[in-house]
Structure 1
Amino acid sequence: MSKLQGKKILMIIASQNFRDEELFKPRELFIKEGMEVILASSSLEVSRGMLGGTAKPDILISKVKVEEFDVIIFVGGMGSSEYWDDPVAREIVKKAVSLDKLICAICIAPVTLANAGILDGKKATVFRSEVKAIKKKGAIYTGKAVEVDGNIITAEGPQTASEFGKTIIRILIEKMK
């Protein structure tokens, strides 16, 4: 039995146009570790990924109780920009930080973290199109595939999705020690 059995992960996807690999690859890794994965979105309708995959959210982001989760992840893809300035998403990010949860984002989704104010003075990475956006909010852009700064994990894009998932698992195990 995995050490992570029973841990809960919240993956927040765009209502449309999430990036398929950034959801499906990490989710598969988490499930193999025995973790429970809950999908949240701004709509409960089936969401279609940029590559055609589909996912049915379990919960609206407005109903999320951050304290029930060990990890909060913002999945990337073009549609994830819907959360950049979303007050509910911003509140989830801030609450996750205050409760010492892992808060993670991949592709263009780190802009949501930056806009919530939590990347100021923190090392982070992001899809190249949004480097200026996170730097403007005080992030120290490293250009790495996956970056870890305390409880914040960011990743560059779809090709880093598996490494992103593995890093989240590794950091979660380290936090349990």
Structure 2
Amino acid sequence: MKSVLVPLASGSEELEAVTVLNILRRAGIEAVSASLDGHPIRGSRGTKLIPDTSLDEALKRRFDMVVLPGGQPGTNNLKADARIIRLVQRMAADDLFVCAVCAAPSVLAAAGLLDGKHATSFPGSLDAFPKVLRQPQAVVEDGKLITSRGPGTAMDFALTLVERLAGKAKRDEVEAGLVRT
């Protein structure tokens, strides 16, 4: 079974985190949420999220993909955590999927992963990183780096992640169950 780590920091965007976790789980993919300290977090809109585990425990395992939700100050909290920077760098070096939505692609850029790569983000989030080849699409893939723009694109983003890990048929099956127009 494929496995995905979704790190949560205080101020992470709830809609993005929960949408990714929900849709991956609908596809039968093991999706593990891990807070930086192992405690529940308050999302960017005040919703309390209870993680499955702590980041330290999660880092003892190997995952096929890591997905960083955006939101503020969640993105800045992820960016300031050296474990997150090492994690995304190691996963990229191991040719595994490294994904981020909303402001979180700036974490990947700060880790040096987006230089010369195509990416998208919440408007303005990548302005401090001129080497990123910014794109306007809802979801942008450059190899195994997958980025998305924000809460409104979270479902398309999550379905893309399902397709990359479990195939087009599984994506179509999950999407049909969502009754999207």
Task: Please classify the TM superposition score into its range, dividing by the shorter chain length.
Answer: 0.7 to 0.9
Are 2:93 and 1:98 equivalent residues in the alignment? yes
AA aligned opposite 2:42: R
Match of 1:134 in 2: 129
5+ unaligned residues in a row in structure 1: which ranges?
Answer: 1-5
2:91, 2:128 → 1: CA distance? 22
AA aligned opposite 2:139: V
Q: Percent identity?
A: 31
1:89-133 alpha-carbon deviations (Å, 9 max, x no partner) = 110011101221110001111111001111011000111131312
> How far off its partner does 1:65 sit?
3.1
TM-score by length of 2: 0.85
Are 2:34 and 1:33 equivalent residues in the alignment? no
AA aligned opposite 1:89: I
2:95, 2:60 → 1: CA distance? 10
CA contact (8 A) 1:146 1:156 kept: yes
> How far off its partner does 1:67 sit?
5.9
* Equivalence map 1:36-51=2 (5 Å): 36-51=30-45
> How far off its partner does 1:36 sit?
1.2
**One of 134, 138, 150 as aligned partner of 1:157:** 150
Match of 1:80 in 2: 75
2:60, 2:105 → 1: CA distance? 18
**One of 33, 38, 53 as aligned partner of 2:47:** 53
1:54-73 alpha-carbon deviations (Å, 9 max, x no partner) = 22223333444376111101
Are 2:51 and 1:23 equivalent residues in the alignment? no
For structure 1, which segment, 104-113 or 33-42, has the greater mean C-alpha deviation from structure 2 after superposition? Answer: 33-42
AA aligned opposite 2:31: V
1:54, 1:99 → 2: CA distance? 33
CA contact (8 A) 1:83 1:112 kept: yes
CA contact (8 A) 2:38 2:55 kept: no
Aligned residue pairs: how many? 167
SS at match of 2:11: coil
CA contact (8 A) 2:105 2:126 kept: no
2:133, 2:80 → 1: CA distance? 20
CA contact (8 A) 1:66 1:92 kept: no
AA aligned opposite 1:129: G
